[in-house]
Amino acid sequence: MSTLTNKTALVTGASAGIGRATAEALSKAGAKVVLAARRRDRLEAAAAACGDTEVVQLDVRDAAAVERALGARTFDIVVANAGLGRGVDKIHEGDPADWAEMLDTNVKGLLHVVRHTLPSMVRAGRGDLVVLGSVAGRQVYPGGNVYCASKHAVRALYEAMRLDAAGKGVRFTTVDPGMVETEFSLVRFRGDTEKASDVYAGMTPLSPADVADAILYALTRPAHVNIGEIVLWPTDQASTTTVRRDG
Ligand SMILES: NC(=O)c1ccc[n+]([C@@H]2O[C@H](COP(=O)([O-])OP(=O)(O)OC[C@H]3O[C@@H](n4cnc5c(N)ncnc54)[C@H](OP(=O)(O)O)[C@@H]3O)[C@@H](O)[C@H]2O)c1
């Protein structure tokens, strides 16, 4: 197993949930971690739990800001994790503003980050690019419409990057979790704590640390081994629509 000493890692969406846990895990493994997200106070709190870190306040939807913040830098590892869901409305009742926010963040935001970090990895002939997909990128569920479409797009982009950068020495990984207890549902239901906690009622979801552990596994394989796809489910979840719950 290789450790991450002397590596610089960018983690987007590092102010909460999976991104924050990943920043901590990579930092513990010896990487210098650059934590990026919009909320500076939350980034600073996350950075305090890590060792050698830097904080970058960044909205991944803003292509020019991403270019300014990342374009001239080089990273050994990029974990493109920033993302969100908004609502679970049926598609014929959905709010186009919610759709735009999900697509702008999950798809275009990912593209902005990739466009300004992958070129230097290709030039260097090495690097790791990890995307946070989801089981929602493999299965659709009622009310998941545009969020699921955005995660299907993430999966397509993961496959596209593998092909376009084939032979350039860069490893690509998509990490696709089922239900993880983070702020995801709170954001999805716009701060409605009851609706958010109902999502995980009576079942044991994954923790952000479980997902961070999977990411670390992929990153610490020997250089000739590329863990391409990791799908992690809570044991209580058999599909996006089948969850075992107490009571
Ligand atoms: N939780 C789950 O069940 C689950 C399952 C599968 C996949 N995922 C995926 O995992 C990733 C992380 O989600 P999470 O569960 O950890 O949710 P979370 O706790 O809500 O964290 C989301 C992170 O993304 C950041 N973010 C959102 N919009 C952003 C933007 N425009 N620019 C920069 N950063 C932005 C947030 O930071 P700021 O608000 O400070 O910007 C936050 O740090 C997402 O891609 C999500 O789709 C989650």
The whole-number pLDDT of residue 1 equals 56
Count the alpha carbons within 13 Å of 230 in the hemisphere toward its beta carbon: 20
CA dihedral (237, 242, 244, 247) positive or negative:
positive
CB 142 within 8 A of CB 187: no
The b/e string for 100-123 (b: 16+ C-beta within 10 A; e otherwise) is: ebbbbbbbbbbebbbebbbebbee
Q: Tell me, in angstroms, the distance from the centre of ligand 1 to residue 75's CA.
A: 21
Residue 237 scores a pLDDT above 60 = yes
> Phi then psi for 149, rounded to 5 degrees?
-60, -40
* Separation between Cα atoms, residue 12 and residue 38, nearest integer Å: 10
For the stretch 122-150, pLDDT in tens is 999 999 999 999 999 999 999 999 999 99
Percent of the chain with pLDDT over 90: 97
Q: Is the pLDDT of residue 2 over 70?
A: no
Q: Provide the mean pLDDT of the chain.
A: 97
Residue ranges per domain, the chain? 8-243
Residue 52 is predicted with a pLDDT of 83
Question: Closest ligand 1 atom to the C-alpha of 38?
Answer: 41
Residue 17 region by backbone torsions, left for phi larger than 0, else alpha for psi between -120 and 50, else beta? left
For the question of residue 147 being annotated catalytic, the response is yes
CATH architecture of 8-243: 3-Layer(aba) Sandwich (3.40)
pLDDT digits (tens, 9 = 90+) for 143-183: 999 999 999 999 999 999 999 999 999 999 999 999 999 99
Residue with CA at minimum distance from ligand 1 atom 8 = 134
Expressed in angstroms and rounded, the spacing between residue 142 Cα and the centre of ligand 1 is: 21
Six-digit token string for 110: 């990912």
Are the CB atoms for 13 and 19 separated by under 8 Å?
yes
Residue 111 has pLDDT above 80, yes or no: yes
